[in-house]
Amino acid sequence: MGTFDTLRSRWRFSSMLMRIIYINIAVFAVLMSVNFVCSLMNSAFASEALSWIELPSDFATFLTRPWTILTYMFSQFDVFHILFNMLWLYWFGSIFMLVGDSRRLTALYIYGGIGGGLLFMLAYNFLPVFHGVHGWLIGSSASVIAIVAATALLHPDYKVGLLFLGPVSLKWIAIATIAIDLMSVTGANGGGHVSHIGGAIVGLIYAMAFKRGKDITRPFNRAVDSVVNLAGKLKPVPKEKKSYNAFRREAKRPTGQSNGQSHRTQPNEAELDAILEKIKKNGYAGLTQDEKTRLFDISRQIKD
């Protein structure tokens, strides 16, 4: 029970970025375990089950399993695949959160996966290079590259250290990644690279809209809020029974405190809006050191 409680506590207090990473790792562990057992039993169950998680390239098969447009983006079937994707998601997701939040990050992850999946199916059905070829798509690469592309456009001059290369601006990393995908479309994993391009397009659309003051993730988050609110209304509320002694203890609490939690200072919204507006116009690199520090402090207050 100790390990389970630790995992549950870690999940409960983790950011959405880390929760997405945990989901990917958990799905990978389950797939590997099932594949290992099936290999020992000389069973084809693992490969058959995988076809109900992967995204098919033809629309007819997709209509029989439409959920795969979501399941494929949380699944990996190769150690290096999940390692690379999760590292990139953590690095670029952390930078994305400088001016974004967990709700936008989650929505963009989903958007990028859907965009990559749709472009994958369109390419296989309409591009001559894929004529007569049936493919399956699995992996979070399209979702991750959507976040990479959006982050690079929002913070083009933000530098990260790369092995053997040293500090490199995000814009060059994004340009190199997209260029490699374009050149690899006709290769062995052409469908996968097509999905990467679809995810990158979604990320660029998000960033360009954000710079103009528009949030394309708002409809998704509103839909999620509606579902959560509906579930909350349908859930029966248990009646609380308070003892007389508990009532007396609550009555003695000083004004301004509730259940032992002290009042938290609210961040200066006007100052935050001014910093975000400057980032939209000049990018993150256009901020002074004091403004960067202030942005970090306000973000930490909001997350707390």
Residues 185 and 272 in one domain: no
Give CA–CA dist 280/233, Å, rounded: 39
Q: Has residue 251 been placed in a domain?
A: no
What digits encode the pLDDT tens for the residues 67-85?
Answer: 999 999 999 988 999 999 9
User: Does residue 158 contact residue 284 with C-beta atoms inside 8 Å?
Assistant: yes
Residues 151 and 18 in one domain: yes
| Percent share of the chain, pLDDT over 90 | 47
Residues 46 and 136 in one domain: yes
Q: Which of 221, 251, 274 is a domain's end point?
A: 221
User: Does residue 295 contact residue 302 with C-beta atoms inside 8 Å?
Assistant: no
Q: Has residue 178 been placed in a domain?
A: yes
Residues 273 and 217 in one domain: no
Q: How far apart are the first and last CA of the chain?
A: 28
Residues 206 and 281 in one domain: no
What digits encode the pLDDT tens for the residues 111-152?
Answer: 999 999 999 999 999 999 888 888 999 999 999 999 999 999
pLDDT the model gives residue 258: 42
Q: Has residue 89 been placed in a domain?
A: yes
Residues 42 and 142 in one domain: yes
Containing structural domain, residue 289? 265-304
Residues 138 and 45 in one domain: yes
pTM of the model: 0.75
Residues 191 and 301 in one domain: no
Residues 187 and 297 in one domain: no
- Which of 298, 116, 104 shows the shortest CA–CA distance to 216? 104
- Which of 155, 160, 94, 168 shows the shortest CA–CA distance to 278? 155
pLDDT-wise least confident of 38-47, 211-220, 262-271, 291-300: 262-271
**Total tally of structural domains belonging to the chain:** 2
Q: Which of 189, 221, 253 is a domain's end point?
A: 221
User: Does residue 155 contact residue 284 with C-beta atoms inside 8 Å?
Assistant: yes
Residues 287 and 157 in one domain: no
Residues 108 and 191 in one domain: yes
Radius of gyration of the chain (CA): 23
Q: Has residue 111 been placed in a domain?
A: yes
pLDDT-wise least confident of 21-25, 291-295, 297-301: 297-301
Q: Has residue 279 been placed in a domain?
A: yes
CATH number of the domain where residue 22 is located: 1.20.1540.10
Q: Has residue 4 been placed in a domain?
A: no
Q: Has residue 104 been placed in a domain?
A: yes
In the predicted structure, residue 290 carries a pLDDT above the cut 60: yes
Give CA–CA dist 186/127, Å, rounded: 11
Strands (E) in the chain, as ranges, are 55-56, 136-137, 159-162, 166-169
Residues 216 and 280 in one domain: no
Q: Has residue 100 been placed in a domain?
A: yes
Q: Which of 163, 195, 221 is a domain's end point?
A: 221
pLDDT the model gives residue 69: 96
What average pLDDT does the segment 8-20 reach?
Answer: 84
